[in-house]
Structure 1
């Protein structure tokens, strides 16, 4: 997605105060030493409020920091990975109402762990297509708790942390004195045949959790890999997708592999063996600092990329004119890449 006019982006993350720690899981027998070592973290945030409320808190944080009136927002795009607190309900409308964006169009965007990036893409499309839309708010919010979900053992290579994330996207005003990021490109690559990895041999069900609780992501993945000859084909597809998405995003942002203006690249907040296919590629094409920010957060459902943008935007990593690359992805599978520049 080549962005034809400058769009500014400010992002925020809301992490609850509660924590669950690897040491406690080791002591209770909930994790083995080998499993703990692969995760590459010591603790994850745990919330006592549902995901949409976490999204609202992140949104309020970014709107306050930007001193931006919610009445000026034309679109609220909310994404999530897991249960939002009600079975038959519209979380995006809740977020819009709670933040005061009463004139905005609320929409929900689902794309597994890539959902926050997909929602960002919808926001960009709307801003570029409709001059009457002044700004868009993108949010994610998830809470991964029993009885439906065991954040520690549900999946391979990921511990799921509770969090809200938000990004305010609008047309850039060159005379602003606020430090903002300019979104220069946003690209996607999909291999839809891998949707079956999250389905395995399980039949379609009539209602949530009929296949069993807590959710076991490992079971369908294991079944899929048994039927398709292991991880080899998927890893090959993933490497090709990450490469093509990254190269396209660099080209559309006006940069190139090895560009000295690129200061860092941020990865999804997953375990090392999940990201192994990415490291060699990044060393080859970029050779810059790799930000792995899972420590203290774990995998934030649909919110990893927005949380990584929030970190880059507030950590003063970039000087004016410098770039950062942020990689995303989610089951299905879709991979994504955003390139941002410090204004």
Structure 2
């Protein structure tokens, strides 16, 4: 999607719980082993003992609003995304986020697009701001808690460890862009629904959650898919889709893949080996930058990886002015997204 009018990323925040479990301790507890630890490259996972996913989203939103000096009442749109249980069975966590913040004028929308939900929330927020002249400010949140009672964060998936956390991103339609602003320049998504059964496998449709196992078992469905279809098709079309969304997003931002200002490419916070096999193998060489590994202290934050990666670049880049970042997201189904974000006047 081309961004015709400037959209300012006013603030981004990540809310982690106060507690974390190190990989060393997890190995001692036999939650994982040295082999998986070496393949993931993750040092620790944030683990919430009390706060729910929506609570963590609200915490991140409050931090972002404070950083931007925005009142919650100024928000026109709130998108909230998640991938796991939000604490209640039949309920709208997006409205909980809005009410907890006091953003009673905003339209809350729940977004369920697996791990790409945060990226799709950003795209929906941008669409709303560009299409509705009365809307100027939007908030996109994510929040998940992968409690042991329903999800084995260490062994529930292949090559992915799951951390608890919330994220928040504030987006504003701006009449004037200052030299220090962070701006969204384009965002492009592509779906490949022909591989949706990677997360369905050969399981029958069931009448209630966790009917087939006491915890969410991503390995079971992936094994069913692999046994039935193999992974060659998935790798072929997913790599093509990744390259397509990156190339299109860069083009729609008005730059080229060879632009030296593209100084970071971040991808979902999966384990290091999976990142190399799935993302770096497809994207390295497209630009003068290389895919960065950002999962070491968090693991996969569900739908929140894209926002967490923006926050990571803002916090760790030695010189932001003139920096252009490519932020890649993906989620089961499958959908891939790339957002092009410029940092400072020198980037444009």
> TM-score when scaled to structure 1?
0.96
Residues 265 and 292, structure 2, Cα contact 8 Å, conserved in 1: yes
- C-alpha distance in 2 between matches for 1:299 and 1:76: 23
- C-alpha distance in 2 between matches for 1:322 and 1:25: 37
The C-alpha deviation readout for 1:283-334, integer Å capped at 9, x for no partner, is 3111315321101100000000011112223334553343111111011101
- C-alpha distance in 2 between matches for 1:219 and 1:281: 26
Give 1:209 deviation, angstroms.
Answer: 1.2
| Residue of structure 2 aligned with 1:80, choices 76, 79, 82 | 82
- C-alpha distance in 2 between matches for 1:144 and 1:180: 35
Structure 1 residue runs of 4 or more that deviate by more than 4 Å after TM superposition: none
Give 1:221 deviation, angstroms.
Answer: 0.6
Gaps of 5+ in 2: none
Q: Does 1:332 align with 2:333?
A: yes
Tell me the residue number matched to 2:269.
269
Structure 1 window deviating more from structure 2 (204-213 vs 132-141): it is 204-213
- C-alpha distance in 1 between matches for 2:323 and 2:60: 26
Structure 1 window deviating more from structure 2 (281-290 vs 73-82): it is 281-290
Tell me the residue number matched to 1:301.
302
Q: 1:286 to 1:338 in 2, by over 3 A?
A: same
- C-alpha distance in 2 between matches for 1:224 and 1:281: 22
Give 1:234 deviation, angstroms.
Answer: 0.6
Tell me the residue number matched to 1:28.
29
Structure 1 window deviating more from structure 2 (166-175 vs 74-83): it is 166-175
Residues 263 and 318, structure 1, Cα contact 8 Å, conserved in 2: no
Give 1:8 deviation, angstroms.
Answer: 0.6
- C-alpha distance in 2 between matches for 1:278 and 1:159: 17
Residues 19 and 46, structure 1, Cα contact 8 Å, conserved in 2: yes
> TM-score when scaled to structure 2?
0.95
Residues 266 and 326, structure 2, Cα contact 8 Å, conserved in 1: yes
Paired residue total? 341
What's the RMSD between the two structures over aligned residues? 1.4
| Residue of structure 2 aligned with 1:139, choices 138, 141, 150 | 141
The C-alpha deviation readout for 1:263-287, integer Å capped at 9, x for no partner, is 1111211012322232133331113
Report 1:199-218 matches (<5 A): 199-218=200-219
| Residue of structure 1 aligned with 2:156, choices 150, 154, 157 | 154
- C-alpha distance in 1 between matches for 2:161 and 2:190: 25
- C-alpha distance in 1 between matches for 2:318 and 2:333: 32
